[in-house]
Amino acid sequence: MKILVPIKRVVDYNVKVRPKADESGVDLNNVKMAINPFCEIAVEEAVRLKEAGSATEIIAVTVGATNTQEQLRTALALGADRAILVETDIEVEPLGISKVLKAIVEKESPDLIIMGKQAIDGDNNQTGQMLAALMGYPQATFASELKISDNKAEVIREVDGGLQTISINLPAVVTSDLRLNEPRYASLPNIMKAKQKQLDVINSGDLGVDLNPRISTVKVSPPPEREAGIIVESVDQLVEKLKNEAKVIS
């Protein structure tokens, strides 16, 4: 079984994001970048399936600029067998990424696509669903447990009311939730081996996909600072302030 794992390059989750001085976007100068945490979970799950004998090959793929190879090399160090970079300088939106992934899926014919449920920068939670729709594949989103057997995937999903267990036929799209697994750290020997693994670069223009954005960023600014709280001495004082100052009760 071949597994395709789309990943995304994002600002490391430990970094405090700051807007540019002109508020035209996020300041990425000298900022540590990393694999999107949910994508890293997807890579880990693919590696575990391979270690369990359910998969034979793992392909990591991303859409982005040349420097995104850094994150693909990390995915290779974590256990992916080869990687594909669809190179573009355009800030691609979920629909464009889905169309690119569709072209890659048609070329590689994977049995399973595992990807993060959302990226921590755009926070869209759209790409997996769009890809499944474009391919006509069954999908299982927000997966917290995944089992493969008899050309089917049994997935436990995290939903608002609790957990939902579904069974879908392969090929399929699965998006990973936070509790699917805990990603491993890449060892130094594997980091060195990753440098020798195959990484193919494809120009996005060669895929014949329209990547032009439909949305333009008008302004990026930090949220307003919250005012300091106060301590009240009694319930009556609390009620009085909620009624007369905050005006949230009548």
Q: Which domain holds residue 52?
A: 2-219
Section 162-186 average pLDDT: 95
Residue (of 33, 39, 3) closest to 173 by Cα position: 3
Domain annotation covers residue 239: no
Would you say residue 244 lies in a domain?
no
In a domain, 246, yes or no: no
100-115 per-position pLDDT tens digit: 999 999 999 999 999 9
Q: Is residue 242 part of a domain?
A: no
Instruction: Specify if 232 maps to a domain.
Output: no
Residue 234 lies inside a defined structural domain of this protein? no
- CA 123 to CA 227: how far, in whole Å? 27
Task: Please give the tally of structural domains in the chain.
Answer: 1
Q: Residues 24, 217: contact at Cβ < 8 Å? A: yes
Question: Which domain CATH number covers 153?
Answer: 3.40.50.620
Answer with the residue of higher pLDDT: 45 or 224.
Answer: 45
Bridge partners (DSSP) listed for residue 146: 155
> Is 29 within a domain?
yes
Q: What is the pLDDT of residue 228?
A: 85
For 216-248, the pLDDT digits (tens) are: 889 999 888 888 888 989 999 999 989 988 888
Residue 228 lies in a domain: no
The answer to whether the beta carbons of residues 106 and 139 sit under 8 Å apart is no
Q: How far is CA 250 from CA 5, 235, 241, in A?
A: 54, 15, 11
